[in-house]
Amino acid sequence: MLEPLYWAISWIMLQWHALWHLILGGGEFLKTNWDWVLAIVFLVLTIRTLLFPVFVKQIKSQRAMQAIAPQIKELQAKHKGDRETLQREMMDLYKREKANPLMGCLPMVVQIPVMWALFHVLRHLNPNRAAVTKQISGWTINQFDSAANARLFGAPIAASFKSTAADLADMHANGTTVKIVAGALVAIMIITTYLTSRQMILKTGWAEDPQQRMIQRLMLYGIPISLLISGTVFPIGVVIYWVTTNLFSLGQQFWVLRKYPPPVPAGKAATGTARAGTASAPAMSSLTDMILGRKSKPAAKGTAANANGAPKVDGKALAPKPGAKPVNPKRGTPAKSPAAQGAAGSRADDGSRATSQGGAAKAKGTAGQGASAAKRGTAPRAKRPSG
């Protein structure tokens, strides 16, 4: 059933190997056959280029799921306790908005057959096999023997962490070297798989839909934990493929999320708008003055500010000084209010008492004049004390 896929993966890898063998000239460097290692790396680049439309659909589906998150929350509150109706309403919502909660793991699902095909091809790379079995999926005997003897830092790319002693003997490999190289690659594979899922979740946030949230948790924790067990049986070549895929995904997601950032949730957007409105409140008076053609006066240095940022009015500074005559806004001349005239008469009376030696009667007369003047609305002038 998967035989055509085996042929396709083998053909792509052999074409890249032929190119890199021509460029590098074969041979080893740091106990590594780089022509075969780079053939696996560029197999990843080829597959990911072909899967790029699927990745774009994944991003669009995630954006759609974020957009309908408030509607999903409303449905959950409306049909709480009625799971059947809730599922039916949510399926209708997904269909209407063209959103698919399962699209988030589609690239991984599509790549599983590719990795299985590569696993099938690499696990047959044994130099002691019969000539008939070497010619599988379009390989020649020379290509098969070259790939079977290819190494990464001294460990055959066909070996795995759990390779038996008999298999290692057939590959002429050292068991300790294989375990060190394979173990390091499996650790890198687990870490990069976790970082790839974490990068997407940190940017898009956790989904409101419980089903989508479960998928996110599965990708964040479930897959890395499963790789801790299954990764030990993968050939080193398959682990190279997986690590390269994760590194490519990290770079691809970083570029996409930076160029097309996810939409801001409604709650956060409202909060940001409220903060912006509060910050711009002090400028509203200046904007009003500009529209009405009035000139706004700059706030004096050292003037305290209110909570909204406007300068605080000092009541003491605006209060009239003792003895000052208030100005009539209509005439531009000092107003003659009864209260002010009475206050002036009282001050004149105090001054007369302070400077006169025996003028009690005179002080009474001055006070009487002040009182009568307050009734008439005129302010008597205080006489300068003599002597």
Q: Rg of the chain over CA atoms, in angstroms?
A: 44
Helix (H, G, I), strand (E, B) or coil at 53: helix
CA distance to 110, 145, 201, 261, 298, per residue, from 60 (Å): 17, 45, 15, 12, 51
Q: Show Cβ contacts of residue 247 under 8 Å, excluding neighbours closer than 6 positions.
A: 192
One pLDDT digit (tens) per residue for the chain, 387 residues: 778 889 999 999 999 999 999 999 888 899 999 999 999 999 999 988 888 887 777 777 777 777 887 888 888 888 888 888 888 888 888 888 777 777 666 766 777 888 888 888 888 888 888 888 888 888 999 999 999 999 999 999 999 999 999 989 988 899 999 999 999 999 999 999 899 888 877 776 776 667 778 877 887 888 889 888 888 999 999 999 999 999 998 888 888 777 766 655 544 444 444 444 444 344 434 434 443 444 444 444 444 444 444 444 445 545 555 555 555 544 444 444 444 454 444 444 444 444 444 444 444 444 445 444 444 444 444 445 444
Separation between Cα atoms, residue 268 and residue 273, nearest integer Å = 9
pLDDT at position 375: 47
pLDDT at position 282: 44
CA distance to 216, 273, 319, per residue, from 202 (Å): 11, 23, 59
CB 144 within 8 A of CB 199: no
Separation between Cα atoms, residue 2 and residue 120, nearest integer Å = 10
Helix (H, G, I), strand (E, B) or coil at 61: helix
Helix (H, G, I), strand (E, B) or coil at 314: coil
Judge residue 117's burial from the number of C-beta atoms within 10 Å of its C-beta, 0-12 exposed, 13-18 middle, 19 or more buried: buried
CB 327 within 8 A of CB 333: yes
Separation between Cα atoms, residue 170 and residue 198, nearest integer Å = 41
